[in-house]
Amino acid sequence: MTSFNKKSNILSYKGSNHMRQRLILSILSGKSVKIDEIRKLDDNPGIQEFEVNLIRLLDKITNGTIVELNETGTSVFFQPGLLHGGNVQHDCSLQRGIGYYLEVLVMLGLFCKIPLNATLRGVTNNCIDPSADHILHGFLPCLRRFIIDHENLELKIVKRGMLPHGGGEVRFTCPIAKQVRPIQLLDAGMVKRVRGVAYALRVSPSIANRMVDSAKGVLLKFLPDVFITTDQRKGIQSGKSPGFGIHLVAETTQGVFYIAEQMSQPAQGADVSLPEDVGVKAAQCLLQQIYLGGCVDPAAQSVSVLHMALSRNDVSKIMVGPLSNYTISFLRHLREFFGLTFHLEHLVDDGDNDGRGSSKIHMTCVGIGYSNLNKRTI
């Protein structure tokens, strides 16, 4: 349930769902947000530690942000400040992965006053959030399509860290832009190669090779150009907890990337993860992502949708696979914060899809011409 007070310019929500989306759009639109009844019926009511940690990160990259919490933490008032950027050092909550926080920086980075140079520490790979590898190979290529000068758009994984103790570190740099350009992306192309990395942290190095062999055993049945490297870090660069996983990237002839990843379960009370099973599951997941198709990785749909909405006053079009629930909620929030709606056209399968996978959707919108007022003019 959403209500809007025109006099006070405040959007009111109930519940904890999609708090991250609301805070991002609050900063970009300048509208304050009030969220009530946050987990009021849970055994552990109120805002959680990882959400408080996210608000602290937003406070570091903005000037003038005001946050008010009630005593029980079940009500939050967020008045956004101006995006500043600059050098940021942040220790992320171990309850969520670094990708949970990186996604926010990817969405806000272009609209800062000063180019963003952020160092985040915590868990680089978990089973809930996109990993740092996923952000690097899935989100950043999507973001590069919207800007001309993307030379300084980089993400470097300095240390890897697994659950439960983390110990990972990434460095993210993002340039600033006055405006983002519209895109026309309707052809995903055909998959031409698969690349990947298998990592083994504080375990036997042979585990990485076992994951590579099992994943290639599945993928080589479909195309010959498969190359997976191993990342066997030692000492402080391997984080504070043992674990292993594999990250796969399929690239098409049109520069579209599909991502899949699998990793071992934390040691506490979970079933034992076999390297062969992890490799096979990752390969099967990649084939599923290719089948779903589209011109953007499903996890990065919201990044494309946001920048299409904020682009210059021109038509943007993109073809995507089935919309995720997260993207559907993001489209609803865009309408509430910016009054912008997308035209969705479901492409009907005529029976001659030539092996193109699942049904697709054409998303079309006219950008609102959002201008980065924080950017210094010379």
Q: What's the pLDDT tens digit per position in 65-105?
A: 999 999 989 999 999 999 999 999 999 999 999 999 999 99
Q: What is the pLDDT of residue 259?
A: 96
**Residue 121: CATH number of its domain:** 3.65.10.20
Q: What's the pLDDT tens digit per position in 111-120?
A: 999 999 999 9
Please identify which residue in the block is written with the tokens 């805002």: 47
| Domain identity same for 95 and 62 | no
| Domain identity same for 49 and 104 | no
| Pair 139, 133: CB distance under 8 Å | no
Share of the chain above pLDDT 70, in %: 93
3-state secondary structure of 188: coil
> Count of alpha carbons within 13 Å of 131, Cβ hemisphere only?
28
Q: Which of 245, 268, 292 finishes a domain?
A: 292
Q: Which of 270, 292, 314 finishes a domain?
A: 292
| Domain identity same for 233 and 254 | yes
Q: If residue 260 lies in a helix (H) or strand (E), which one and from where to where?
A: strand 257-263
Q: What's the pLDDT tens digit per position in 164-180?
A: 899 999 999 999 999 99
Q: What's the pLDDT tens digit per position in 284-316?
A: 999 999 999 999 999 999 999 999 999 999 999
Residue 195: pLDDT band with limits 50, 70, 90: very high
Q: What's the pLDDT tens digit per position in 197-248?
A: 999 999 999 999 999 999 999 999 999 999 999 998 888 888 899 999 999 9
Angle subtended by helix axes 275-292 and 206-219, to nearest 10: 40
| Domain identity same for 236 and 375 | no
Q: What's the pLDDT tens digit per position in 309-333?
A: 999 999 999 999 999 999 999 999 9
Short-list 127, 133, 77, 80, CA closest to 102: 133
| Domain identity same for 232 and 270 | yes
| Domain identity same for 298 and 371 | yes
| Domain identity same for 105 and 14 | no
**Residue 208: CATH number of its domain:** 3.30.360.20
Per the prediction, the chain carries an average pLDDT of: 91
| Domain identity same for 46 and 122 | no
**Residue 22: CATH number of its domain:** 3.30.110
| Domain identity same for 113 and 164 | yes
* Angle value at C-alpha 148, between 177 and 150, nearest 5 degrees: 80
Number of independent structural domains in the chain: 4
Q: What is the pLDDT of residue 358?
A: 83
3-state secondary structure of 283: helix
Angstrom distance (rounded) from CA 303 to CA 57: 19
| Pair 147, 106: CB distance under 8 Å | no
Q: If residue 2 lies in a helix (H) or strand (E), which one and from where to where?
A: strand 2-5
Q: What is the pLDDT of residue 21?
A: 96
Query: Could you give the dihedral angle defined by the CA atoms of residues 268, 274, 280 and 286, in that order, rounded to the nearest 10 degrees?
Result: 30
Give the global pTM: 0.93
| Domain identity same for 257 and 270 | yes
| Pair 182, 309: CB distance under 8 Å | no
Q: What's the pLDDT tens digit per position in 346-370?
A: 987 655 555 567 889 999 999 999 9
| Domain identity same for 274 and 202 | yes
* Range of the structural domain that residue 219 is part of: 191-292
Angstrom distance (rounded) from CA 265 to CA 241: 11
| H helices, E strands: number in the chain | 9, 19
Q: What is the pLDDT of residue 268?
A: 59
Q: Which of 236, 260, 292 finishes a domain?
A: 292
| Domain identity same for 287 and 298 | no
